[in-house]
Amino acid sequence: MLLVITQPDRPAGRGLKLTPPPVKLAAEQLGLPILQPRSINNAEAVEALRNLSLDILVTAAFGQLLRPVVLNLPKLGCINVHASLLPKYRGAAPIPWAVIHGERETGVTTFLMDEGMDTGPILLQRRTEIGPDETAGELEERLAKMGAELAVETVEKWWRGEIQPRPQPPNGSLAPKIHREDGRIRWDWDAQRIHNLVRGLSPRPGAFTTWRGEYVKILRTRVVDPKAKAGEPGCVLPRRDQLLVAAGTGILEILEIQPAGCRCLSGRDFLNGYCRGGFRCFDR
């Protein structure tokens, strides 16, 4: 018997209407039974799982840490699909941090869960390159497909006894939850570092800066010249149809930008609408 476990319905939108998670909607379309515990570790959820005599439990971006009372239920253990090449980027936000740090390669890992945070023995891994201008959102789409395929392969091979788990080394890098302040742009950074921050936080939650004291989200950029010394960091360069900004080192073109309370604009539209009257610098 198959069972889908997902988060409870939560209020969403302006009207705070109770909204089911996408996993629930997909399960309903497939006619699969659904369990939505507030905590997978509470007594009611554990009893429901125990009554199923589980063979394998597979999780992906579940958002709850499984306790031993759950980990020990399935006969063949609990398998997690994680969007990094463990032991690198353990934690809640592996995709954004890989992009922010300028990694050129990442992938997906399946592993046997233990009581730690993404520390269990590795089962299978698949690698992929990260494009130089690829955003976290674009990468997430690719890794989601890879992860789904790897999860199916892992379950089939694990069931047949064809995988030898590999213990992880104790030391690995962390990928904690992204906080708002993590997205603040420092214009005295070099252009490549700013570019990596922007694409690592695009489309959510977005890297940000301020313009005349007002919050501005920057969603897409490209590095025009990584080494130029073009002026005061944060200042817009005199171009007619390109929003070029001097960084601490290098020049960055802003391709998509969203002022507070406004729709997303192209760099050119922002240049024509906001960079008038001689004021041409982002706040530092």
Render pLDDT for 175-229 as a digit per residue (tens, 0 to 9). 999 999 999 999 999 999 999 999 999 999 999 999 989 999 999 999 999 999 8
The reply to whether 90 and 50 lie within a common domain is: yes
**Mean local confidence (pLDDT), 260-276:** 89
**Mean local confidence (pLDDT), 72-77:** 97
Rounded Cα distance between 269 and 69, Å, is: 56
The reply to whether 144 and 191 lie within a common domain is: no
Q: How many CA atoms lie within 13 A of 189 on its CB side?
A: 15
Residue at a domain's end among 159, 189, 209: 159
Which pLDDT score is estimated for 168?
Answer: 97
Q: Is the dihedral of CA 144, 153, 65, 169 positive or negative?
A: negative
Model confidence band, residue 279 (pLDDT cutoffs 50, 70, 90): low
Model confidence band, residue 236 (pLDDT cutoffs 50, 70, 90): very high
**Mean local confidence (pLDDT), 238-259:** 94
Q: Quote the percentage of the chain above a pLDDT of 90.
A: 87
The reply to whether 204 and 113 lie within a common domain is: no
What is the extent of the structural domain holding 130?
37-159
Which pLDDT score is estimated for 181?
Answer: 94
- In this model, does residue 33 exceed pLDDT 90? yes
Which pLDDT score is estimated for 20?
Answer: 95
**Mean local confidence (pLDDT), 76-89:** 98
Model confidence band, residue 270 (pLDDT cutoffs 50, 70, 90): very high
Which pLDDT score is estimated for 283?
Answer: 84
Domain presence at residue 188: yes
The reply to whether 106 and 197 lie within a common domain is: no
Residue at a domain's end among 159, 193, 210: 159
The reply to whether 117 and 59 lie within a common domain is: yes
Query: Which CATH number covers residue 239?
Result: 3.10.25.10
The reply to whether 149 and 212 lie within a common domain is: no
Rounded Cα distance between 91 and 32, Å, is: 29
The answer to whether the beta carbons of residues 265 and 242 sit under 8 Å apart is no
**Domain count within the chain:** 2
H or E stretch at 246: strand 244-246
Q: What is the pLDDT of residues 117-145, one digit of tens each?
A: 999 999 999 999 999 999 999 999 999 99
Nearest partner of 88 among 26, 18, 200, 169, judged by Cα: 169
Domain presence at residue 266: yes
The reply to whether 148 and 184 lie within a common domain is: no
Mean pLDDT over all residues of the chain? 94
